[in-house]
Amino acid sequence: MAKSNYVPLFETKQVIGRIFFRCIAASIFLGICFIVMYRVMFFPVGGKAERWTWIGLFLSELWFCLYWFFTTVSRWNSVYRLPYIDRLSQRFGKELPGIDIFVCTADPLMEPPSIVVNTVLSVMAYDYPPEKLSIYLSDDGGSDLTFYAMLEAANFSKTWLPFCKKLKVEPTSPEAYFRTASEPVNAEWLSVKDTITYTLLHQLYNQEKHI
């Protein structure tokens, strides 16, 4: 696939400290060679029990040496991949599969609606084609409180989702974002924050009425 506008989906980088790891591995390998030489050169000639004990120790050491060898070989040239998630939709936007996401809850007292709402809004704000993303809330308790909280969340999502896409918000949970983000001088930012604050306070008020 040789195109002029081709962009990789990830970048491969080498792990820091490979030279240090290889030096340690080389010193361990040298120590293993000395152990093998010692076991072969000083093999006991008298006493059946001593010989079998020596052989058992030697075999166990060979087994651990073999395990160390395969482990070290797998880590000899360690790398890690840095993905570029935003490029996935650019290249395969029309070929991405549909995704169904289920959010489960049961008790509005043990699992406050504010947490459920933040979870659902966070999932809705995924960087994924919205027409291929379906989100379902399974409320085993059938709580009216959770139901009305989701109605509030549905109204707030009309403000929150465009806000996330416009500013590329991370994390996409409203509560987590406004708890960690510094306040910029932006009327839209303050408006969205006031809206989510009102929504959470309204949910807490309804929760207190149902207790």
* pLDDT tens column, 116-138: 888 998 999 888 888 888 999 99
Q: How many CB atoms lie within 10 A of CB 153?
A: 24
What integer pLDDT is reported at residue 185 of this predicted model?
47
What distance lies between CA 84 and its chain's CA centroid? 15
Of 34 and 170, more confident: 34
Give the model's pLDDT for residue 162.
Answer: 87
Please classify residue 48 by burial: count the beta carbons closer than 10 Å to its beta carbon, then call 0-12 exposed, 13-18 middle and 19+ buried. exposed
Shortest CA distance to 77 belongs to which of 11, 22, 10? 22
State pTM to two decimals.
0.56
Average pLDDT over residues 134-146: 88
User: What does the pLDDT average to over 106-115?
Assistant: 85
Annotated binding-site residue? 100: no
What does the pLDDT read at residue 1? Answer: 45
Q: What are phi and psi of 44, to 5 degrees?
A: -65, 135
More confident residue, 145 or 124: 124
> Is 111 annotated in some ligand binding site?
yes
CA 204 – CA 211 distance, rounded (Å)? 11
φ, ψ for residue 183, nearest 5 deg: -80, 110
